[in-house]
Amino acid sequence: MIIRSKAPLRISFAGGGTDVSPYYQEFGGAVLSTTINKYAYATLSTRDDHAITVSSLDYDIVAKYLTDDRLVYDGELDLVKAVLNNVREYSGQPKLNGTGMDLFIHSDAPPGSGLGSSSTMVVALIGIFQRYLNMPLTNYDIAHLAYKAERLDLAIKGGLQDQYAATFGGFNYIEFYENSVVVNPLRIRPEYLNELEYRMLLCYTGKTRLSAHILDRQIGSVEGKKASVVEALHQSKQIAVDMKNALLQGRIDDFGYMLHVAWEHKKQLDPCITSSEIDNLYQVARENGAIGGKILGAGGGGYLLVFCDFRKKHTIAQKLEEVGGQVVQFGFDYDGLQTWNAGS
């Protein structure tokens, strides 16, 4: 039996950081995001013995475990181990149907890209096990299980939005409360989405980043009631609401301008969110006709999202490439997590 899954990576327009503890427990968080046609993929192939092999194309690692083992987190493929441990516990099948398996995983974007690739991979893995073990999981269950594996079991710093975005897919306004998450799918007219997609660029800055240190400082600032950081998060949450309304009403230029405002507030969260290289890329984009833009994810590297004057999009792309950026083609994804049987 061969089962495959894919889960889409996401871009977050506004509200990032308000989904990180302890902010959302105290104030409530909100994020506006969409998924794109870049994916994390997982394949499960059954085998006749009781071994589990994991091959990661991104890390060039092949590891082997036994289905009876309680997997220990030691820095090697811990995300996969956390999924296996959680699936065993949740499904009540410690031996995973009593067969061995080969797992093959890879992603269209590296960890640290700002597109939620690590969380998305966890969602893709849970998806293949849901299908393989016939686990009765809703989208909310899958997202929560992915959150538990990554944020609670492995204590990897981050928020809640990535797991829910990858599972549900499409444009969502996601609200975060102390004990619940509410995903609000947005019914946006196709012509508005086409215009938005047409006017956006995604530019790789040339380096990934480790978000944990940025998030540590943000968490400390919220815990310490640092006024500038808390206010920046408040403003980011309000911008998510305003951008949602602009999209629903077809005010695409307003949406682009608010993307710039969101970036200005995001930079107030931590000085390492931007850098001279990022500032230079954004300045080049703005000087050549960009209306707005922001670094995706926690910041410090990864991908720069740019909203363009449609007459100048190609010029902006050329200028970004000339100063070291790598422009990447992308489109929106509306389907979220998908799994399928690929053979016997």
Catalytic residue list = 162
Residues 6+ positions from 25 with CB-CB distance below 8 Å: 177, 178
Tell me if the bond preceding 110 is cis, omega within 30° of 0: no
DSSP, residue by residue, 121-152: HHHHHHHHHHHHHT----HHHHHHHHHIIIII
Measure CA of the first residue to CA of the last residue in the chain; give whole Å.
4
DSSP, residue by residue, 82-105: HHHHHHHHHHT-TTGGG-EEEEEE
Query: Cα–Cα distance between 141 and 34 in angstroms, integer?
Result: 20
DSSP, residue by residue, 45-68: EEESSSEEEEEETTTTEEEEEETT
* 25 membership: H or E segment, kind and range: helix 23-27
Query: Cα–Cα distance between 299 and 214 in angstroms, integer?
Result: 8
Dihedral angle at the C-alpha atoms of 275, 111, 162, 169, nearest 10 degrees?
110
3-state secondary structure 257-269: HHHHHHHHHHCCC
Residue pair 222/268 in contact (Cβ under 8 Å)? The answer is no
Question: In 191-263, where do the E strands start and end?
Answer: 200-204
Exposure string of 243-270, with b = 16+ CB inside 10 Å and e = fewer, is: bbebbeeebbebbbbbbbbbbebbbebb
Residue closest to 207 by CA, chosen among 292, 299, 331: 299
